[in-house]
Amino acid sequence: MVRNIITSMLVLALLVALGFGPGCDTRTAGCKSGELLIDGKCQLTSIGDASGTVDSGDDTSAADDSSMLLDAFGSDMGLDSVGPADFSGQEDAEPSDAGPDTTLSFDASPDVSVVPDTSVEADSTDVLGCVPPTFVPIGPSGWEHSVISAGIVLLGSPNHRGQDVVVNPSMAAALIGKFTYGGLVIDKDLKEEYVDVYLRLFSDPCNAFDHLGDGLTSTDGQYGTTYGFEDDGGRLFFDIPNKELPPIGRHDVKMVVRGDLKEANFSFRVVPKGTQAVVFDIDGTLTTGDGELIKEILAKIIASGYEPEMYPDANTVVQMYNAKGYLVIYLTGRPEELHTISRAWLKANKFPDGVVHLTDMESQALPTTGGVQTYKRDFLLYLKGTVGLDIVAAYGNASTDIGAYEEAGIPKDHTFIIGKNAGDSNTQALSDYTSHINYVANVPDAVNP
C-alpha cells in the first residue's frame, strides 16, 4: 500500500513538473485539437483529446479505465487503500488450501481441454506444420474472497507479471508471478486467490500448454525472504524440483488467475553451463536517455501514445549478437510494475527475444551503489556463478552499470558504455550503435555447449 501511494505521489509530482498539474488542464494548452503538450512541445496523439483509454500493452488484460486512474490523483489515492478493513466482516470464505500443488507432469492435464483452433487460417498448417492447439484454462471460478477480490479487480486493468527464469539442468527452479489490478498507478495486490500454472515446451506453438499445478497468491510477508527478496504479497511462488525440470531449451510459462482468467506470461530457460551471453541495460543504453521512461509512463496515464526513443541501430546490434548464438540478457533497474510496457517496447522496436529482468524490490531501483548497482551485480553473479553463463560483453550508460559490471568480473575491454560516462574507468566508449555494427560483425559466433 505504501509503495503504491509513494509511486502515485512521485507520478503526480512529475505531472506537475511537466505541466500536467491538477486544477488546470495544461495538457492541451496552446496546442491544436488532437495534440497534447509533452516535454514542452505540442505532439499529435492517437485519441484526439485527453480522455481516451489507457493502453496497458498487455494483450491479456481487460480494457483500462483511464478516468479511474486520473481521478485517483484528486482523491488522495483512496482507491489504493482497499483491503480487509474496507470490507470488514464481508469475506464469504477462507482459502481452502494454503499451499501450492507442486505435483508436476508434462503430459496434458485431464482438467485442461485442448482442441483444434478452427479459426486458424488455412496456411497456418503449412507455416507451422500443425494446427496450433487452443489454450483452454481451468475456470473461471468464484473468488476465494468474493467481496475483497472483486473490489480489487474493479480498480482497473490487471498488471500481472513474472520474471524470466534461467537455470542449468542441475538446478531446481522457482517460477514467480505477481498479480495486481489498477494499472501502473494503483497496482493493488490480489491476495489469497488461486492461480494455475501452465508450461509449453520449447515455446513451440504446435505444443499444448501443460497444467503443472496451482497455488494461492501470498499475503504480505507470507514467505519472508525465502526466494531472495521480501514477499510483499500478491505473489505466487511455484517450485519445480530438479527431477521435474523440463529439457534444455526455451519454454513458455503462463500463470492464470482462476477467478477471471487474466494472465502473466514469461519465459523459462534451461541452458547448459558455459552458454555465452551478452548483457544490455535499457534506459539510457538502448533508449536515448533515462527521461524517455518517465515520458512513457506519463503517456500511459494520459493516453498520449508516446513511445521512448531508441538509439539508431541499437536493435540491429542486439539482433546481430542474437544471430551469432549469444543469449541476450536485458538487465534493467526499472521497477517490476513496468514489466508489461518494457516487453512491449522491446517487441515493438524489433529487439530479439531474450531474458528480461527487472527489480523485485523498490530499494533495488534506487540509482545508488547500494541500490541498482548491487542489484545488477548480484543478478550477474547468479548468472555467472550459479547458472554458469559465460558473459562475454555488457552494455550500459550509468556509473552504476560500470560498477556492477566490474564487480561481476566482466572485463573492461568488453564493457561498452554510451552517453556521458562513455569510456570512464577504462571502459570502451560507445559513441553510437551505427558505427559499432562493424565491430559486432567481427565478433566470432558463440561457442555454446
Q: Does any domain span residue 97? A: no
Angle at Cα 112 formed by Cα 108 and Cα 115, nearest 5°? 85
Q: How far apart are CA 356 and CA 113, in angstroms?
A: 31
The answer to the question of residue 85 being in a domain is no
Residue 302's pLDDT is 56
> Is 216 part of a structural domain of the chain?
yes
pLDDT at 6: 41
Name the packing angle between helices 2-17 and 291-302 (round to 10°): 100
Q: Assign residue 359 the CATH number of its domain.
A: 3.40.50.1000
Same domain? For 113 and 146 the reply is: yes
In a domain, 446, yes or no: no
Q: Are residues 122 and 190 in the same domain?
A: yes
| Grid cell locating 425 | 574507468
The predicted structure's pLDDT at residue 55:
34
Q: Please indicate, yes or no, whether residues 110 and 259 belong to a single structural domain of this protein.
A: yes
Bridge partners, residue 396, by sequence: 417
Query: Are 56 and 133 contained in the same domain?
Result: no
Residues 392 and 328 in one domain: yes
In a domain, 402, yes or no: yes
115 and 55, same structural domain?
Answer: no
Domain end among 268, 289, 313: 268
Count of domains observed in the chain = 3
Closest listed residue to residue 104, CA positions, set 168, 205, 199: 199
- Tell which of 79, 113, 146 closes a domain: 79
Is the domain of 321 the same as that of 432?
A: yes
Residue 68 counted as domain residue? yes
What is the Cα–Cα distance from 389 to 386, expressed in whole angstroms?
Answer: 8
Q: Are residues 252 and 287 in the same domain?
A: no
Give 29's strand partners. none
Per-residue pLDDT of the chain (449 residues; tens, 9 = 90+): 434 444 544 444 444 334 433 333 333 444 444 444 444 455 444 333 333 333 333 444 333 333 333 333 333 333 333 333 332 333 333 444 444 444 444 433 333 322 333 333 334 556 778 999 999 999 899 999 999 999 999 999 999 999 999 999 999 999 999 999 999 889 999 999 999 999 999 999 999 999 999 999 999 999 999 998 999 999 999 999 999 999 999 999 999 999 999 999 999 999 999 999 999 999 999 999 877 767 666 666 556 567 889 999 999 999 999 999 999 999 999 999 999 999 999 999 999 999 999 999 888 988 899 999 999 999 999 999 999 999 999 999 999 999 999 999 999 999 999 999 999 999 999 999 999 999 999 999 999 99
178, 161 Cβ separation under 8 angstroms: yes
Regarding whether 35 and 8 lie in a shared domain, the answer is yes
Residue 305 confidence (pLDDT): 65
149 and 19 share a domain? no
If asked whether residues 209 and 317 sit together in one domain, one would say no
Using CA atoms, how far residue 130 sits from 169, 185, 205, 211, in Å, is 29, 42, 9, 21
What is the pLDDT, as a whole number, of residue 349? 98
- Looking at the domain assignment, is residue 405 inside a domain? yes
CATH number of the domain to which 241 belongs: 2.60.40.1930
CA 426 distance to own-chain centroid: 32
Is residue 424 a part of any domain in this protein? yes
Cα atoms in the 13 Å half-sphere on the side-chain side of 225: 3
Residue-range definition of the domain harbouring residue 398: 276-441
Domain termination residue (choose one: 226, 241, 268): 268
Q: Is residue 281 domain-shared with residue 241, that is, in the same domain? A: no
At residue 188, φ and ψ (nearest 5 deg) are -85, 130
User: Residue 362, class by beta-carbon neighbours within 10 Å (0-12 exposed, 13-18 middle, 19+ buried)?
Assistant: middle
